Chain A
Amino acid sequence: MGLESALGEGYLTTKVDSVVNWARANAAWPMPMGLACCAIEMMAFAGPKYDAARFGSEVMRFSPRQSDVMIVAGWCTYKMSHAIRRIWDQMPDPKWCIAMGACASTGGMHRCYGVVQGVDNFLPVDVYISGCPPRPDAVLHALMKIQDKIKTEHSVMLDT
């Protein structure tokens, strides 16, 4: 309705890249790798007050085959790292990764033998969120940064 009144009787020309990336960015289904306390803030981020669904992350798909963004929330131990890597490998391209919280980004306050000092030791991370735990607003900000990244980085037509 609104689009027709803005354009009148005409049509819209744009690039294929813009349309495809706009559609991709506004439908980024997250796969929550909720490990520890950040998972609770991630649940609040999907909850009623800080609604993630209005940004397009309508469902939290727990199956890696059906998701686009993996949110690693919580400290990753050496024992768990293999499971996370396996799940990352199962996700189909294009995929992005958010390291939520201090523990996923750098190991956080847990500087000891059991914790991997940063998930980027074995995963290619796109956005790091600081905070322990970060407020759900911060996770929304990170999601918006991922949306910007989706819209500007890759091209569908050019094979880059």
Chain B
Amino acid sequence: MALELNESLQKTIDGLSDQFTEKLIEVYQSTGDTFVRIEAEALVEVCTYLKNEHHFVYLTDIIGTDRYTSDERFEVIYNLICLKNQTRLFLKVRCDEESPVLTTVSTVWKSANWMEREVYDMFGVRFNDHPDLRRIFLPEDFDYFPLRKEFPLLGIQGSIELPNTTPDTE
């Protein structure tokens, strides 16, 4: 595959393929952005390596997607920035539908805390060793995961309660 990478990104990809050859599944580019897909078990190792060796100190966003395929349904994408070399890299991991579990990266970047809570809230992907895995946008009483493709846009009747309209309630 012909990738047009600048110098520091090329060094990063070379370093990754040397250190983690079996864990690195694919590297590709789409509209100018570089995506690296790795195995889910190696997530924290790869993140620590990228932060320490290649100065990817800033985690801007964690994106969850629902691929709606029968295997490896959910995909989580990490948006990393290296300020020193002015580059951006996307890291992808996949997990399956029966037990969507990943390990948290909040030990590497503290900003992952709320972002992983958002992915949990919207898709149901759990993160091991997360300091505080609760829902962030919807109340805990809500039982569904809204951004999954089978959840209807208008919601499910009765899944979240409205207040009483008679004035003599508590």
Interface size for B (C-beta < 8 A) is 18
Query: Do B154 and A111 touch (CB < 8 A)?
Result: yes
Pairwise interchain contact B161-A78, C-beta atoms closer than 8 A: yes
Q: B residues within 8 A CB of A82?
A: 163
In the complex, are the beta carbons of B146 and A78 less than 8 A apart? no
Closest Cβ of chain A to B159, distance in Å, is 8
Q: At the interface, yes or no: B165 with Cβ under 8 Å from chain A?
A: yes
Q: Which residue of A111, A113, A114, A122 is within 8 Å of B163 (Cβ)?
A: A122
The secondary-structure label for the interface of chain A is helix
| Residue B32 CB within 8 A of the other chain | no
Considering the complex, which residues of chain A in the window 62-108 have a beta carbon less than 8 Å from any beta carbon of chain B? 78-79, 81-82, 84-86, 89
Q: How many residues of A contact B (CB 8 A)?
A: 16
Does B1 sit at the interface, judged by CB under 8 A?
Answer: no
Asked whether, in the complex, the Cβ of A112 is within 8 Å of the Cβ of B153, the reply is yes
Q: Does B164 contact A (CB under 8 A)?
A: yes
Known: A79-B138, A89-B167. A121 touches B154 (CB 8 A): no
A residues contacting B by CB (< 8 A) are 78-79, 81-82, 84-86, 89, 111-114, 116, 121-123
Inter-chain pairs besides A116-B162, A122-B165, 15 sampled, C-beta below 8 Å: A78-B161, A81-B162, A85-B163, A89-B167, A89-B169, A111-B153, A111-B154, A112-B155, A113-B152, A113-B153, A113-B155, A114-B138, A121-B162, A122-B162, A122-B164
